[in-house]
Amino acid sequence: MLARVWSAAIVGIDAVKVGVEVDVSGGLPSIVLVGLPDTAVQESRERVKTALKNAGYMPPMRKVIINLTPADLRKEGPSFDLPLSIGILAASEQISPELLGDYLFLGEVSLDGSLRAIAGVLPIAAAAQAMGMVGLVVPEDNAQEAALVDGLKVFGFKHLAEVGNFLNNPLLYPPVPTPDRRAQLQATPPSLDLRDVKGQAHARRALEIAAAGGHNLIFVGPPGSGKTMLARRLSGILPPLNLEEALEVTQIHSVAGLLKERGSLVRDRPFRSPHHSASGPSLVGGGSYPRPGEISLAHRGVLFLDELTEFKRDVLEFLRQPLEDGQVTISRTRQSVSFPARFTLVASTNPCPCGYYGDTIQPCTCSPRQRENYWAKLSGPLMDRIDLQVAANRLKPEEITQQLEGEPSLPVRDRVQAARQRTLDRLQNDHIQCNADMESRHLRRWCVLDDTSRMVLEGAIRKLGLSARATDRILKVSRTIADLAGSDHLQTPHVAEAIQYRTIDRMQ
């Protein structure tokens, strides 16, 4: 007898429907698995055979041929254990096949028949809903995660025998209730608060501008000036994720197997901080069958690169295209996969190898050639894409010892949200959420300069040798500064302040 069960495979962060065709016919007892399965799927033959026996079913004592369609799509991971098991039971007439065409089946099966959680359930559930499937059958530990998708019946089970009973008697098992997604997204106080930062008014202002406009930011300063402390507090002043963003981020983390609370949306904006020894594929994603890298895991959040000049130059060059396009495309022989990568880059570095160039307390011991070689690790095109280049100076002794607290993060977050709302009101028809994403046509319309502002900007271009891209970045930052000030038009002070955030251009 022939039976067909539906499952799904992950390609990038999207799901592709996979058919599991099982035929039980005459011949010596064996299981033949075809359709480009990887090692984990091939090994499922032994897991499934033992699990069926321990779940109280009778493994067919005939030849079983299993075909995974489409045949040219690589199938990987243990998530096909459950559909393989159900297909064998249906083909051997041990369960009813009536519901098999309406549901997707996913799950790893242990030798005793219990079901184990898998990664990537949320994007598969979203795809199942888009495909018009009635429901999804998954391990109990994945049920709440799948239920985040509206319009889909989700059934979660602990054991293979329960799945068989459900297919034979579906009315006895109610679906998992849909959780209140919006309640999960209520804003929480930031764990790292700006009130802990003493002084550094210029750097704090840059953080606020970066958050309001989604601008990339780098802090340059000597050791102990608070660069890392400042950078780690950026995510706390960013606006909370909306429902669409939260679903998008949660899907990426689900595919990567990083969901800390299954069944809950990721409510906080991601903050990723890879070590400077990270490779290119770990940063942008990759592998024989591509998986998301750090920049995709930082989607809608912050990617923090501490000690930027310690990263290999070729690794940093991988960031240029994602910073411009908001996504990364990884091409392999068999497939090409795109991952979202719209993040805010925050970096920190010392001004020279010894770390004290320009410091008013400790003299620099580096030669001009050493400083030149140090900055040569960062290419001009990469630095053009960093909007805010900020000097973080060491605190004075009296600033260190005073007990005064800085402004807390929550009032800053309120100003940031107000500025972003102005951006949304202005650019909502173009589906742009922050000024950093504006294109040339938006600059021509919303960043019009008067004669005085134009003269100031032209002088900066000549003095600093700015490229056209760097000039556009200055205009975008100026627009954000105007939004924070509640102004509809760019004014000379807005442009002048934006130019001041080109510290590295002035140092070189």
328, pLDDT greater than 60: yes
Separation CA 363–CA 144 (nearest Å) = 58
Q: pLDDT tens digit string along 27-72?
A: 888 999 999 999 989 999 999 999 999 999 998 989 999 999 999 8
HSE (CB half, 13 Å, CA atoms) of 188? 11
118, pLDDT greater than 70: yes
- 379: tokens are 């290419």
Separation CA 339–CA 324 (nearest Å) = 14
Number of CB atoms found within 10 A of residue 177's CB: 10
- The secondary element (H helix, E strand) that includes residue 383 is helix 380-384
| Domain positions in the chain | 2-172, 194-507
* pLDDT for 264: 82
Tokens 């530990």 sit on residue: 141
HSE (CB half, 13 Å, CA atoms) of 195? 11
Q: What is the dihedral of CA 388, 465, 363, 233, to 10 degrees?
A: 0
* pLDDT for 395: 78
User: Are 203 and 226 a contacting pair, CB within 8 Å?
Assistant: yes
* pLDDT for 25: 86
343 vs 334 pLDDT, higher one: 343
Separation CA 69–CA 78 (nearest Å) = 16
* pLDDT for 368: 92
Q: pLDDT tens digit string along 251-292?
A: 999 999 888 677 788 888 999 999 999 999 999 988 777 889
449 vs 290 pLDDT, higher one: 449
94, pLDDT greater than 90: yes
Burial of 474 (0-12, 13-18, 19+ CB in 10 A): buried
Count the helix, strand and coil residues of the chain and give each as a percent rounded to the nearest 5.
Answer: 45, 20, 40
CATH topology of domain 194-507: Rossmann fold (3.40.50)
Q: What is the mean pLDDT of residues 176-187?
A: 80
Q: Give me the sign of the Cα torsion angle 194, 341, 423, 265.
A: negative
Burial of 218 (0-12, 13-18, 19+ CB in 10 A): buried
* pLDDT for 185: 75
- Is 128 strand, coil or helix? helix
In order, the DSSP letters of 246-287 are: HHHHHHHHHHTT--SSTTS---SPPEE---TT--HHHHHEET
Q: What is the mean pLDDT of residues 152-161?
A: 96
Q: What is the mean pLDDT of residues 82-91?
A: 96
402, pLDDT greater than 80: no
216, pLDDT greater than 80: yes
Q: What is the mean pLDDT of residues 298-315?
A: 94
Residue 12: pLDDT band (50, 70, 90) is confident
Q: What is the mean pLDDT of the chain?
A: 91
User: Are 479 and 436 a contacting pair, CB within 8 Å?
Assistant: no
Tokens 């009973």 sit on residue: 165
CATH number of 2-172: 3.30.230.10
User: Are 212 and 484 a contacting pair, CB within 8 Å?
Assistant: yes
Separation CA 505–CA 349 (nearest Å) = 15
* pLDDT for 507: 52
For residue 262, give the amino acid letter.
Answer: R
Tokens 């991988």 sit on residue: 318
* pLDDT for 505: 55
Go through 279-310 and write b for each residue having 16 or more CB atoms within 10 A of its CB, e for each that does not. Answer: ebebbbbbeebbbbbbbbbbbbbbbbbbebbe
Alpha carbon 376 to its chain's center: 30
Q: Which residues pair with 37 in a beta bridge?
A: 75
506, pLDDT greater than 70: no
User: Are 234 and 207 a contacting pair, CB within 8 Å?
Assistant: yes
188, pLDDT greater than 90: no
* pLDDT for 398: 67
Selection from 460, 458, 462 nearest residue 502 by Cα: 460
431, pLDDT greater than 90: no
456, pLDDT greater than 60: yes
* pLDDT for 331: 82
User: Are 446 and 434 a contacting pair, CB within 8 Å?
Assistant: no
Q: What is the mean pLDDT of residues 73-78?
A: 90
